[in-house]
A and B are shown apart, each in its own frame.
Chain A
Amino acid sequence: MPWTLLFRNMIGHPVRSTLTVLSVAVALALLCVLDATARGYTAAVDLAAQNRLVVMSQVSLFVPLPLSYQSKIQQVEGVKTTTKFQWFGGEFGDRGGFFAQFGIDAESFESMYPEIGLVEGSFEEFRGERTGCVIGKGLADQFGWAIGDSVPLTTPLFPRGKSGEEAWTFVVRGIYKALRPNFDEQTMFFHFDYLRESLEAGAALGPPGVGTYAIEIDSGVRAETVMTAVDGLFENGPQRVRTTPEAEFNRQFLSMMGNIPLLLRSIGGAVLFAIFFAVLNTMLMAGRERTRDLGIMKALGFKNGYIGAMLVMESMLLILIGSVLGIALAHLLAGIMKPFVSGWAPGFAIDGAVLLNGLAMAAALGLISGLAPGLRAAKILPVRALREDA
């Protein structure tokens, strides 16, 4: 390949080449973050723990289960340990301070969720403080919270104080990183008992009971056996339950959001078209303007295939440079999007699979858009090419 000529041609039209490279970069970055969102969205299902089950009301996620259920579930054969999960619905400040908070059982939580790895503070300190909480690294970064900081939250689900607008205060005792991408780093875990005691003391209003229980089963025990046994316990009420594997629970939760993968795929398709038009446009222009040059090369004896391949190479080169920039831009975008997306797409990350997918599509587009002018250039007769004034 005449690399010097390829570079010269590219540099010969600095504005055009730059614009094409930039539009490839923007489009590829967009494609990557869309793909990362779609993949991150299913991570909670794909990477769910095999040995954990979720117990919820058979009717609705919004029907609280009696607290008395926990000790009964604990006695089912094959159940190793359990924890409560209570959605809190709290908000920090007035705007944009919404993130997920769950009340849990601090005693069992640590061993049940090994993917939650504390990077600061410790579970001992968390357990030792009634109003303590463990927050994700993402939250710590977003709000600038550190160990020992107080986090005031208000929630319409559990209005506190006479006005109902008094804040609940939590103290950060641990900051976690998700060791596997099925968990996001935008969640806060606190002592369910703090919530329960406040309700019982009349300091706050709200439904008694708990949203869901999570179960860890003994190794070697069939999940189906435990699920049937737990469901059977409460067949006669007061609240019937449905026990599902964690993956199934996550899948159902996500399916409520509608067909997000389809939406993302449709948008991705439009983005692909946009890159295609951008590169095709440039390459057609480049091919047309260089008709004369190509005619000279042909007259000098360069083969048709060689000339066609040269234009394809030029298009691939533009794509390659655009892709490098695009990958950098994708990381930048992902950083901005992460706090907004990772709540429902916990595995959201620009990883190898995402990059490979994006690059493969970009390369395919470069090839196709280089072929259009390449084929034309290969076919054109030298005499006609030389006659044509560019």
Chain B
Amino acid sequence: MALVPLQYTFGSIWHRRGATLLAVLSIAATVAVLAGMLCLQQGFLRVQTQGGRTDLAVFMRPGANSEGESAFDKVRAQIVLKETPELATDDNGAPLASAEMFLAVSLPKADGGKTNVPMRGVQPMTFAIHGDDLKIIEGRNFTPGTDEVIVGAATQGRIANCNVDDELEVNMTKFRVVGVFQARGSHNSEIWGDVDRMRQALKFEHYNRIIGVLKPGVTAKQVHDRLIVHPRAPAKVVDEKTYLESQTGMLSGMLGVMGGFLAFLMGIGAIFTGTNAMLSLVASRTHEIGILLATGFRPWAIFVSFLLEAALLGLGGGIVGCILVLPLNGMQTGTTNFETFTDIAFAFQFTPTVLVTALVTALLLGVIGGAFPAFRASRLTPTQALRRS
């Protein structure tokens, strides 16, 4: 029941390093593409869902899937704001809730072209709701009731005209940037100002969504079940965490599918290359295999030994592939989140998920590519193998 010693496997790889290197690189190229796409997906997911709160409820029009699609007229917004007993209150007894307007505004990018930047109109209570999650890191907060705005930290350098004292022209109103804020997740890519000033600038009759802090022990589901059938102001209610997660499906899925599709096709190519390399290794070692068989190693031990060698090659390819994409980690990029059609800034994230997926894929590619050559090696008979030189 003896396995072929590991030293033999390592020794063989080293001996034929030229040929094995090509197989390793071909697996590495495949893994690099897969890992690169996954880094994008992970970065996007992290920014988008970072710290979504379960005690923060999001109210939308029934049927709406995102805040851009949702709309509440003034009357309905007031009903939700004032007549929802499940909402927590501040020291003065006012509900911790804010009606918001949301619009993707077309603005020039710093590096040319245009993109849709999310503009969010908020009510003063918003700052009590977000508390320490939101900090002004430059300048000051906007004064309610004025045409002042603050911009998220991630707009800096990405979007033109987003520096303190810049003016942003929205329809016929000029909004002045007075501060830069740092907040959780995707809020960082947004522009915030007074909701009613913004609505006026755009001649909007409606608000888009309402957010509110739930009293301890109350779940968004309970509020939803009550409000979805509300006679005067029906609303769909989800918690913020669920809401944010629901906004990632399309882009995240697209990146995943694209990565998977490319990795699958390139993987087929890599398996062929791997098989070729292993076949040539087996062929060049026919004599040695004969000796191993003659000294009493069983065919299955030969099979395992060659398969192990292939797995090591695969793993090597995986490691090289990961090293190739590692410099991308933390690199800032951005794209449009198709769910909201707005620009979102995020960084490539080389997470453990990426590492594990990449290495497992590489290992699989190696093993699949090595299976046939290993099988062929194990089928040799000692006499046959020794005779062939």
Q: Which of A207, A281, A289 has the most CB of B within 10 A?
A: A281
Taking the closest CB of chain A, its distance from the CB of B145, in whole angstroms, is 21
Contacts of A289 in B (CB 8 A): 280, 283
Query: From A279, which residue of chain B is reached at the shortest CB distance?
Result: B273
- Report yes or no: A59 in contact with B103, Cβ–Cβ below 8 A: yes
Contacting chain A: which of B58-66, B184-192, B353-361? B58-66
Supposing A19-B275, A61-B106, A258-B334 touch, asked if A284 and B69 sit within 8 A by C-beta, the answer is no
- Report yes or no: B103 in contact with A281, Cβ–Cβ below 8 A: no
Within 8 Å of chain B (Cβ to Cβ): is A389? yes
- Report yes or no: B172 in contact with A237, Cβ–Cβ below 8 A: yes
Query: From A340, which residue of chain B is reached at the shortest CB distance?
Result: B257
Query: From B266, which residue of chain A is reached at the shortest CB distance?
Result: A274
Near B by CB (< 8 A), chain A positions 1-46 give 15-16, 19-20, 22-23, 26-27, 29-30
Contacting chain B: which of A110-118, A180-188, A211-219, A249-257? A249-257
Contacts of A389 in B (CB 8 A): 389
Binary contact readout B235-253 vs A (1 if CB under 8 angstroms, 0 otherwise): 0000000000000000000
- Report yes or no: A159 in contact with B25, Cβ–Cβ below 8 A: no
Taking the closest CB of chain B, its distance from the CB of A162, in whole angstroms, is 10
Contacts of A236 in B (CB 8 A): 172
- Report yes or no: B273 in contact with A278, Cβ–Cβ below 8 A: yes
Contacts of A74 in B (CB 8 A): none
Q: Which of B18, B280, B335 has the most CB of A within 10 A?
A: B280
Contacts of A163 in B (CB 8 A): 62-63
Contacting chain A: which of B27-35, B79-87, B89-97? B27-35
- Report yes or no: B103 in contact with A277, Cβ–Cβ below 8 A: no
Contacting chain B: which of A128-136, A225-233, A265-273? A265-273
Within 8 Å of chain A (Cβ to Cβ): is B326? no
- Report yes or no: B269 in contact with A27, Cβ–Cβ below 8 A: yes
Chain A contact-residue range equals 35 or more
| Total contacts A-B at CB 8 Å | 157
Taking the closest CB of chain B, its distance from the CB of A178, in whole angstroms, is 23
Contacts of A141 in B (CB 8 A): none
Supposing A256-B116, A258-B334, A277-B22 touch, asked if A30 and B266 sit within 8 A by C-beta, the answer is yes
- Report yes or no: A59 in contact with B335, Cβ–Cβ below 8 A: no
Contacts of B269 in A (CB 8 A): 22-23, 26-27, 274-275, 278
Within 8 Å of chain B (Cβ to Cβ): is A220? no
Bound-state Cα–Cα, A378 to B64, Å: 71
Q: Which of A163, A266, A273 has the most CB of B within 10 A?
A: A273
- Report yes or no: B62 in contact with A61, Cβ–Cβ below 8 A: no
User: A16-B280, A62-B104, A270-B266 are known contacts; what are 20 more A-B pairs with Cβ within 8 Å?
Assistant: A19-B272, A19-B276, A22-B269, A26-B265, A59-B106, A60-B103, A61-B106, A63-B171, A164-B61, A236-B172, A237-B172, A240-B172, A252-B113, A258-B333, A258-B336, A271-B29, A277-B29, A282-B276, A284-B22, A389-B389
| Closest 3 pairs (CB-CB, A-B) | A258-B335, A164-B63, A255-B113
Q: Which residues of B contact A (CB under 8 A)?
A: 18-19, 22-23, 25-26, 29-30, 32-33, 36, 61-66, 68-69, 71, 103-106, 109, 113-116, 170-172, 202-203, 262, 265-266, 268-270, 272-273, 275-277, 279-280, 283, 333-336, 341, 343, 389
What are 10 residue pairs bridging A and B, where the CB atoms are less than 8 Å apart in the complex? A58-B171, A59-B105, A61-B106, A63-B103, A89-B69, A237-B171, A271-B266, A274-B270, A277-B273, A278-B276
